[in-house]
Chain A
Amino acid sequence: MKRTVLFCAAIILAAIALATSSTAGAKDAATAEFEKFRDVLEEDNPAELFEMKGEELWKTKRGPKQVSLEQCDLGLGPGVVRGAYVAMPRYFADVGRVMDAERRIVHCMVSLQGFKPEEIARQPFSNASQTPEQTALVTYVAGQSRNMKFAIPMNQPGMRETYEIGKAVAAYRAGPYDFSCSSCHGDDGKRIRMQELANISSPEGAAKSVQGWPGYRMTGGVMLTLQWRMNDCFRQQRFPAPNYLSDTITALITYLSANAEGSLYKGPGIKR
């Protein structure tokens, strides 16, 4: 065998110095460059490592009750993972309420495997040294809806009301800066500094806001979920912190996901 090796080590540095200082015209050029870069990375998105980890966690007998999550019902029947992510949030009759994907997965970890909710809530989101198990699980479940369309079952009990509440949450102005979600995410074509802002009230904008979550964030190299995204928006909104897996966040995610109805979900994404 010939040993001709083209050692094209695509060493991807987490700290991509995406020049925050480029011109308005070059800003679009910078955005375009980043888009290209992201396209390359999407082929080898480290999020896949978390999908693998999540799949292993899903199938392994774990927790005080030593069972796997293969009996977890994500809305399409016990153990059905394929297509479940793009059909959540949804109404779950066993608990009589609407749940989003992360909330439902944690519910299964608690109810089937016997994990303690307060222990799971102790570290809800990834940091540099630790990725919570539920983050990997959400990434796995989301990966099983890759290239499927958002199809939120709005005709189920409580869904319409949850949507309307989410819409009202997005409009709620409070805090020292009088911000609501819609202060920044209510119009087309706006930016904070260089960061483009999705208009969550439009189908295209809402699709952008849910697309790419859960996402691998290159800055810091951590895997983050839509629950995290909502949490960090409230931080920037200068609000106090939303409790993990709360009704408010489920309502907001319902509002976003239903507005994104019919758009194609490309799977776990990559973020700068």
Chain B
Amino acid sequence: MAEPMKIRAQMKGDSADIRVLMSHPMDTGQVKDAKTGQTIPAHFIQQVIVSVGGKVVVEGQIGTAVSRNPVFGFKVKGVRAGDKVVVSWTDNKGDKRSDEAAIV
């Protein structure tokens, strides 16, 4: 059910510029449906893990302050073109998604 991420990873000088677009509603649990008046239950990404070449380089907790379809950017040193970037997230309902791309 989770849609794929869009990952771009590019060497810029001695570090890699990694940008990730995630497809997620990021519902805060504080918004009411305009039509039904019912509160839309909270549904948001809680954990993000980024690994490059098999090593975890980012492990982050995020919450409801992050917008729908969030964008993340990282700079990682000590990596090379061709290294595999794997990004995965887990949300508060237990949904998971993992996508990968190679550094160019």
Contact = CB atoms under 8 A, between A and B. Distances in A.
Contacts of B93: none
Q: Which of B22, B33, B71, B79 has the most CB of A within 10 A?
A: B71
B73 interface: yes
Interface in B21-57: 21-23, 25-26, 31, 33, 40, 52-53, 55, 57
A15 B66 CA distance: 10
A9 B72 contact: yes
A192 interface: no
A9 B76 contact: no
B73 A44 contact: yes
A12 interface: yes
Interface of B is mostly: loop
B65 A13 contact: yes
A6 B79 CA distance: 13
A10 interface: yes
A44 B74 contact: no
B96 interface: no
Interface string B55-68: 10110101001111
A15 B69 CA distance: 13
B: contact size bracket: 35 or more
A125 to B, nearest CB: 14
B84 interface: no
Nearest to B62: A11
A193 interface: no
B74 A5 contact: yes
Interface string A207-222: 0000000001010110
Contacts of B58: 5, 7
B94 to A, nearest CB: 20
Interface stretch (A28-36, A45-53, A95-103): A45-53
Contacts of B22: 49
A64 B72 CA distance: 39
A6 B74 contact: yes
Given A3-B57, A44-B21, A12 B70 contact: yes
B13 interface: no
A2 to B, nearest CB: 4
A5 B57 contact: yes
Contact of A7 (B4, B66, B74): B74
Contact of A9 (B15, B53, B60): B60
A191 to B, nearest CB: 27
The 10 closest A-B pairs by CB, nearest first: A221-B68, A2-B78, A14-B67, A46-B69, A6-B75, A4-B77, A10-B73, A44-B71, A49-B23, A13-B67
18 contacts: A3-B57, A5-B57, A9-B60, A9-B72, A10-B72, A11-B62, A11-B72, A13-B65, A13-B67, A44-B71, A46-B21, A46-B23, A49-B21, A49-B23, A49-B69, A52-B4, A52-B6, A221-B67
Interface of A: 1-15, 41, 43-44, 46, 48-49, 52-53, 128-129, 216, 218, 220-221
Given A5-B74, A6-B15, A49-B22, 4 more contacts: A6-B77, A13-B66, A46-B23, A129-B33
